[in-house]
């Protein structure tokens, strides 16, 4: 069973930054690795579910023309909207996956620190929705903590095993450290970006 909304409501009741995204070096370094690993300088349309308080979102906004963020927690949505205030091409919506998957196509989907909160059935649906929503040259980035989390139906290794098994995409790279996994898959076998610039 996927975790319910109350789990996250309890976390945000005690802190606006329950995972210390703003203050921990581990989180800052991981964000910088995520951004450095994106093979294209600029993406047209990006989807980031489970955006939390918007720390990664703010960096993604610098690398795309249109950014859609989503979170199931109203406090997180409000914080992410504050973080992205003044970024006209970014929007943050309240929604829960897999049921509230957005319409349209994306050339980048970022599944960061999300999969282990979903049971395997829901996670498989997210994987299938992701693949169906990518543009012809789109890519999917996933990054997850590897260790078990109390109360979560999966750990990061299981999450990435399912991605590798069920994504009908080309694996581009895999970066693994003691604590987390970072992987990128693409609809095309080559994602070299030689001259694209962001607006």
Residue 23: pLDDT over 60: yes
Domain that residue 145 falls in: 5-186
CA distances from residue 69 to 10, 47, 49, 174, 178 in whole angstroms, order as listed: 21, 6, 6, 24, 28
Contacts of 93 by beta carbon, 8 Å cutoff, 6+ apart: 68, 69, 70, 77, 100, 102
How far, in Å, CA of 78 to CA of 72, rounded?
11
Q: Helical H runs in the chain?
A: 5-14, 25-37, 55-61, 74-83, 120-133, 156-166
The tens digit of pLDDT for each residue in 119-155 reads: 999 999 999 999 999 999 999 999 999 998 888 899 9
Closest CA to 56 of 172, 143, 145, 162: 143
Answer yes or no: is 178 within a domain: yes
- Coil, helix or strand for 28? helix
* Bond before 41 cis per omega within 30 degrees: no
Count of residues making up the chain:
199
- If one counts the domains in the chain, the total is 1
Answer yes or no: is 135 within a domain: yes
Is residue 198 within 8 Å of residue 63, measured between CB atoms? yes
Answer yes or no: is 82 within a domain: yes
Answer yes or no: is 199 within a domain: no
Answer yes or no: is 194 within a domain: no
Q: CA Rg, the chain, in Å? A: 16
Answer yes or no: is 46 within a domain: yes
Is residue 115 within 8 Å of residue 149, measured between CB atoms? no
Residue 12: pLDDT over 70: no
Answer yes or no: is 88 within a domain: yes
What percentage of residues in the chain have a pLDDT greater than 70? Answer: 92
Kindly report the CATH number assigned to the domain that includes residue 38: 3.40.50.150
Answer yes or no: is 198 within a domain: no
Q: At 197, is the pLDDT very low, low, confident or very high (cuts 50, 70, 90)? A: low
How far, in Å, CA of 96 to CA of 19, rounded?
19
pTM: 0.91
The tens digit of pLDDT for each residue in 41-90 reads: 999 999 999 999 999 999 999 999 999 999 999 999 999 999 999 999 99
């Amino acid at each position: 069973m996927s975790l319910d909304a109350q789990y996250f409501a309890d976390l945000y009741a005690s802190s606006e930054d329950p995972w210390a995204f703003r203050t921990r070096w581990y989180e800052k370094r991981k964000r910088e690795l995520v951004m450095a690993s994106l093979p294209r300088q600029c993406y047209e349309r990006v989807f980031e579910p489970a955006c939390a308080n918007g720390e990664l979102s703010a960096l993604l906004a610098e690398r795309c023309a249109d950014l859609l963020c989503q979170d199931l927690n109203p406090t997180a949505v409000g914080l992410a909207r504050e973080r992205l205030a003044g970024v006209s091409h970014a929007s943050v919506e309240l929604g829960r996956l897999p049921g509230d998957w957005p319409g349209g196509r994306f050339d980048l989907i970022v599944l960061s620190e999300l999969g282990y909160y979903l049971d395997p059935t829901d996670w498989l649906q997210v994987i299938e929705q992701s693949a169906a929503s990518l543009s012809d040259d789109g890519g999917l980035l996933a990054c997850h903590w590897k260790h078990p989390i109390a109360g979560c139906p999966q750990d990061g290794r299981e999450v990435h095993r399912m991605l590798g098994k069920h994504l009908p995409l080309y694996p581009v790279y895999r970066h693994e450290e003691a604590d987390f996994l970072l992987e990128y898959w693409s609809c095309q076998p080559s994602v070299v970006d030689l001259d694209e610039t962001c607006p």
